[in-house]
Structure 1
């Protein structure tokens, strides 16, 4: 089964086309993306601006055409927290459907966490033992943990890098007062949610859990720190974050984009991303975290593969409402940017 997965995030729309076959690994056919810059387009009233909606519609239309041109039999299309939490999300979804024919759905934050954990477990296998996973998006922070194939605990907090930048670090570069306030806010929020039974160190035996991070934010922070573990994976250490945060704080977004590993599209929000990463690791008692290359899109592909293997909807059906068939393909268009699989 050739399946197209379209992930409309806070910064970009990312299309991943995969071949799924029972008894075989996932094969990536094509991976393309296009900037949407939704996080920076959320207005004071919580609405996404008209220009950003136009970018979103254009990106979805292009992705739809490419998915069909690649011979995809089905499409799984969803938007993450930037659209999910927008005041005008119903209007956005209506425009996308009416102008592109794509039904853009949503996953809950907890389901995003669970599906990302599924991908991390598949990447590391059973030998990794209990896993603790963290993912920083533009609008939310997902955390999941467990010693099985599925997460035993999963939660989503409104602590994404784009959201925190918009709400707490409006200046470029931010003032020391803004940074102090954000640090206090993160400490309070994480202590409240992670220390109140949602996910505590005792849930897994924290010292035994393999701590793993996904997302571009964690990846770029690890590149900035230039550190790798003994197995070759990129790692991010708490001490490195402590050193990099002052370095990022004194620079403008333009200056941050000149640092090795930091992309221009995330330069504005990478400081807030570093601060939430630091606060999360400190709250959970982690001195290091390893970067996993698989994340939410791979988790969705794995869930769909589970369904195909069983011949029916898997007992955990968190993606069924997102599935839609695709018909004969038009001529391909190339308005998205191809990225490495």
Structure 2
């Protein structure tokens, strides 16, 4: 009786699928105790966060959502640090913020307008220096997309006051007098945050030629923390001399982003995605885009369809 000979099977490919995480922050108010009695009422920021989390799920991204009272400094920093620890080369992190933008006094001389830009979290502001430091903690090869629907999100300076909003509309900007009062009341806290960032980045080295090729927020971030290991892409709600508008269900920027995405039917790359969003908004609100990281890695990232894992 002839024996059966087993047919050798080719080895199966063991490619590991990239891992993807996201953090979505939406604040319809802030704590008056942390903002000189101001509660910063907005209407659509929680909708923005939830809608972006829903989009993330459709792309196989595991989301974490922090709404208003849960959008604290500790929770946001913890969420970013956990993601930075969990992700490796080839992975993807999506960070979205919808809420007020603010400013605090700049004590380290890295801002031309002598003010650091902030995200107004529930119990205190997150300074742009802190955000860039946290982004720099991600491993080489990680793709990081930041979508910021707030004022002061264009880059890092605001040389001129923004124009008044259209009648009956809300802007995502902490009033200048409130910002001044908050900084005065909590000066030691915000100054110490900047000192702590400087201590952590004291050994950062920057290629002078690379730094000269950058402008605005990219130049500021690179000068602060040195070379970025991850590929970082930030699309923001407006330019520095403009304001991001709130809405009834979505902020103007997030609403136009979702409309452009069209449930995933959008087929372009990040550059065309940004251009399409910008074209759909009025001239008074022009979303900004800038990148950080290795030029080849960033170019490959920007060439992808948005939210590709």
Query: TM-score, normalised to structure 2's length?
Result: 0.33
Rg larger for: 2
Query: TM-score, normalised to structure 1's length?
Result: 0.30
